[in-house]
Chain A
């Protein structure tokens, strides 16, 4: 069965849909977690610490967190590899362009590939910045995420990179969520409007929720 799925364009799209939905679920949780920064240093840092203790005493310290990380890495890799292979195939299937050019499909649809590449690069920077602290702008301190976040969004490039990526997330989710529903066969004529609405609402909530943090730091609400 795994062979049938991976060898088929429809199967690879299924892999993309499932891995995309896993990442989307994570993004919603991540976004809600981020908003705790508006309730002060104690609550935000306390939340970050709690993330490491989830599942105790059944799970050891940080086990749940690492489990989530592993699932996410698998999802990102599966999503990216399928996207790369499908894109290569798509480009090969349409070798010559039309002389008479026309604007086609919606902006969100046309930017899925570039948007995905931007997001992939962003994830690398984001982890190096706020998880490992390798490229962090201030004095990175493990266990002090509140100050680390404020440091990142006190630089112009930190804000630019983050806001561009968040806008890319919004666009990607807008087409991606609805597409995933179609790929998994969950769409229908009667459900189409509802699915598009859910996709738009999710995209908007994620964009606003994530952008709130750098905007908060820039306006001094978070400092």
Chain B
């Protein structure tokens, strides 16, 4: 396959960025999108140019490191992570636009790399349990109803890639935060911090400069892990409950 790439190039956080056009040839349809970028970078290095910086790690769709807005879609046209997106999703001769996540809370570090540590700080605000864990406990010691276990697991699937923020017209982190809140709030292990968790994580989310939710639904469409839009509804419910309880104290 022969492709034309238009890639966002930006030297550093303070520099002005712009789209640069590159031609890549000899791309196999079985390559992943990142392997295609590797091919481009090898050529750039041979030509003595600066390779395109992009985030990646496991390349198995489970770590959440890769990002990229491809042709206007976070993680590209398929519902998966960029590393699991294959070039067979494109046609020979296509022009592909590659941009970084766009949000005030995710500043560009270089080229396609953005700083997502705002997510880490949201997790630090309440995305944990205080019960001592140690070795794996006996499975029947704390019974969890099956629907609750399924609900928790569905939200635990969030890999924190930030596609929800990138896709949101308001740069909001509601889907990410709701996945983390719901995952722990439904489980008995998460019960002691049920109220403080949702209040603190939402407050941190606001402090980081993420936008508010207008229920456009773009986040859930972009999410490679299929976290549903209704997760936000569940978090709103938890937040209102916690606010009422806090007021009574």
When distances are taken between beta carbons in the complex, the residues of chain B under 8 Å from A92 are 104, 209, 211
Contact B215 A179 (CB under 8 A): yes
Kindly state whether residue B240 has any CB partner on chain A within 8 Å: yes
Contact of B233 among A4, A12, A86, A185 (CB under 8 A): A185
When distances are taken between beta carbons in the complex, the residues of chain B under 8 Å from A186 are 233, 237
Contact A94 B211 (CB under 8 A): yes
Interface string of A170-194 (1 = CB under 8 A from B): 0000010011011111111100100
Kindly state whether residue A9 has any CB partner on chain B within 8 Å: yes
Of the stretches B25-33, B47-55, B82-90, B199-207, the one at the interface is B199-207
Rounded to whole angstroms, the CA-CA distance of A7 and B239 in the bound complex is 13
Contact of B217 among A7, A86, A105, A112 (CB under 8 A): A105
Of chain B, the residue at the smallest CB distance from A103 is: B72
Contact B72 A100 (CB under 8 A): yes
Interface string of B238-249 (1 = CB under 8 A from A): 111101101100
When distances are taken between beta carbons in the complex, the residues of chain B under 8 Å from A12 are 212
Contact B243 A5 (CB under 8 A): yes
Contact B210 A182 (CB under 8 A): no
Contact A9 B19 (CB under 8 A): no
A109-B8 CB under 8 A given contacts A8-B206, A188-B230: no
Contact B213 A1 (CB under 8 A): no
Interface centre among A93, A98, A192 (most CB of B within 10 A): A93
Interface string of B51-92 (1 = CB under 8 A from A): 000000000000000000101110000000000000000000
Interface centre among A11, A13, A99 (most CB of B within 10 A): A99
Interface residues of A in 62-78 (CB under 8 A from B): none
A185-B230 CB under 8 A given contacts A13-B213, A93-B211, A175-B215: no
Rounded to whole angstroms, the CA-CA distance of A222 and B230 in the bound complex is 46
Of chain A, the residue at the smallest CB distance from B95 is: A100
- Chain A interface residue count, CB cutoff 8 Å, equals 44
Contact A86 B212 (CB under 8 A): yes
Main secondary structure of the interface of A (DSSP, over half): helix
Rounded to whole angstroms, the CA-CA distance of A61 and B76 in the bound complex is 64
Min Cβ gap A183→B in Å is: 6
Interface residues of A in 110-141 (CB under 8 A from B): 110, 112
A99-B8 CB under 8 A given contacts A93-B170, A105-B216: yes
Contact A10 B236 (CB under 8 A): yes
| Interface residue range, chain B | 35 or more
Kindly state whether residue B183 has any CB partner on chain A within 8 Å: no
Kindly state whether residue A57 has any CB partner on chain B within 8 Å: no
Kindly state whether residue A220 has any CB partner on chain B within 8 Å: no
Rounded to whole angstroms, the CA-CA distance of A189 and B226 in the bound complex is 14
Contact of B210 among A93, A99, A101 (CB under 8 A): A93
A99-B97 CB under 8 A given contacts A104-B216, A189-B230: yes
Contact A89 B73 (CB under 8 A): no
Rounded to whole angstroms, the CA-CA distance of A93 and B165 in the bound complex is 10
Contact B209 A187 (CB under 8 A): no
Of chain A, the residue at the smallest CB distance from B73 is: A102
Contact B236 A94 (CB under 8 A): no
Min Cβ gap A176→B in Å is: 10
Contact of A100 among B71, B211, B240 (CB under 8 A): B71
A109-B212 CB under 8 A given contacts A90-B170, A94-B104: no
Rounded to whole angstroms, the CA-CA distance of A92 and B171 in the bound complex is 9
Kindly state whether residue A142 has any CB partner on chain B within 8 Å: no
Closest 6 CB pairs of A and B: A185-B237, A93-B211, A90-B170, A93-B171, A1-B247, A9-B212
Interface residues of A (CB under 8 A from B): 1, 4-5, 7-14, 86, 89-102, 104-105, 109-110, 112, 175, 178-179, 181-189, 192
Provide 25 A-B residue pairs closer than 8 Å at the C-beta atoms, listed in order of the A residue.
Answer: A1-B247, A4-B243, A10-B236, A10-B239, A11-B243, A12-B212, A13-B212, A90-B170, A90-B211, A93-B210, A94-B168, A99-B99, A104-B218, A105-B217, A178-B215, A179-B215, A182-B215, A182-B229, A182-B233, A183-B233, A183-B236, A184-B236, A184-B240, A185-B234, A188-B233
